[in-house]
Copies of this chain bind each other. A is one copy, B any other.
Amino acid sequence: MNEAGVCMKKILNDAHQFVDESLDGILLAHSDVLHRVEGDPRAIVRQDAPVQGKVAIATGGGYGHLPTFLGYVGQGLVDGACVGNVFSSPSADAMLAVTRAIDGGSGVLYLYGNYFGDSMNFDLAAEMAADEGIQVETVRVADDVASASLAERQKRRGVAGIFYGYKIAGACADTGASLAEVKETTELALNNVRTMGMGFSPCTIPASGKPTFDIAEDEIEIGIGIHGEPGIARQKTGTAKELVAQLLTPLVEELELSAEDEVSVLVNGMGSTPLEELYIAYREVHQWLFDKKIHVDRPFVGAYATSLEMAGFSLSIFKLNDSFKKYLHAPARTPFVKL
């Protein structure tokens, strides 16, 4: 493999230009919806930003998780996203640029995954924005039950459940709710969202050229994070039924689900796991919940938060009530996610 990483069998010109060239492609393909903030190529907002009078939602994080984060910029979801290097936080400067570009006078909600680097940067951006008179509130997604105990829930990582955060925050903001209301509603919703995932094989960060972890031919990683961070256990793989039960049990327990409860389910592929397999997982999820008389209102099956070409999947459960359902069913449309 050469320095530029060309022999990695990736579509790539130069590993160090991976993020910027990929973003170029996205902006060229979707210029009708997406727009780069003047002067900051890593700050991307919806074409019609700022939407006057609407609370704006900003998100961001490392690159390599498409459609997370940038892919949720559009109608009914988020207003702007800043983009870091692969699996690395964006800079506070890019966050500030997004904040300025999307604030329509009603304030900005920062909604992102709970990682230390991202938190520090978003906090710094919020300080800078406050200095400029922009109202900012923050909600950190911390849905990954494998990453800390329930007692330390605020320390958990944010993974695929961020999708539900976007959906609720975006739909709530579209009703004209205030910044405080959007924040509260989003937090309430996320209190009812739990996720756990498992990884089958690693991915390769272009700039490093090496797989993010080693794993045996017949082993899987339970509780893996979306950057390939180790989870809670390694084990031999099992049947779809066994794997689904293993992921689902802790989610259902924590959410204290019982008969006649209604949930939405997200079966999320981590990158290279085929849709065909994800639907086998969904079949098991459905049957498992059905046996417990838990109703699935709206399943989502596909790639919602990925880790480049990592193989594996995660399950998220969102315990619904009528108001969450209303927001969940509201239309939403971005170049990457159409609901």
Which residues of A does B touch, CB under 8 Å? 1, 4, 6-7, 9-14, 18, 21-26, 28-29, 63-64, 66-67, 71, 200-201, 217-218, 220, 236-241, 243, 271-284, 286, 299, 301, 303, 306, 308-309, 311, 313, 336, 338
Contact = CB atoms under 8 A, between A and B. Distances in A.
A22 B236 contact: no
B22 A280 contact: yes
Contact of A279 (B26, B201, B276, B281): B26
Nearest to A24: B283
Contacts of A280: 11-13, 18, 21-22, 25
B29 A277 contact: no
A24 B12 CA distance: 38
A42 to B, nearest CB: 14
Contacts of A29: 279, 282, 286, 299, 301
Given A28-B282, A311-B9, A275 B240 contact: no
Task: In the A-B complex, list the 5 residue pairs whose CB atoms are closest, starting with the nearest.
Answer: A272-B272, A25-B279, A25-B283, A338-B338, A11-B277
Contacts of A279: 22-26, 29
A237 B66 contact: no
Contacts of A272: 271-272, 309, 311
A6 B242 CA distance: 11
Contacts of A7: 217-218, 236-237
State the oligomeric state as a number of copies: 2
Contacts of A6: 237-239
Q: Interface majority SS on A: helix, strand, loop or mixed?
A: mixed
A276 B22 contact: yes
Of the listed residues A217, A283, A299, A303, the one surrounded by the most CB atoms of chain B closer than 10 A to its CB is A283
A301 B34 CA distance: 15
Given A11-B243, A280-B12, A66 B275 contact: yes
A25 B306 contact: no
A1 B237 CA distance: 11
Contacts of A71: 275
Given A13-B239, A21-B240, A29-B301, 20 more contacts: A1-B218, A6-B238, A9-B218, A9-B237, A10-B273, A11-B240, A11-B243, A11-B278, A13-B241, A14-B239, A21-B280, A22-B279, A24-B279, A25-B280, A64-B274, A67-B275, A271-B272, A272-B272, A275-B336, A338-B338
A276 B9 contact: no
A151 to B, nearest CB: 32
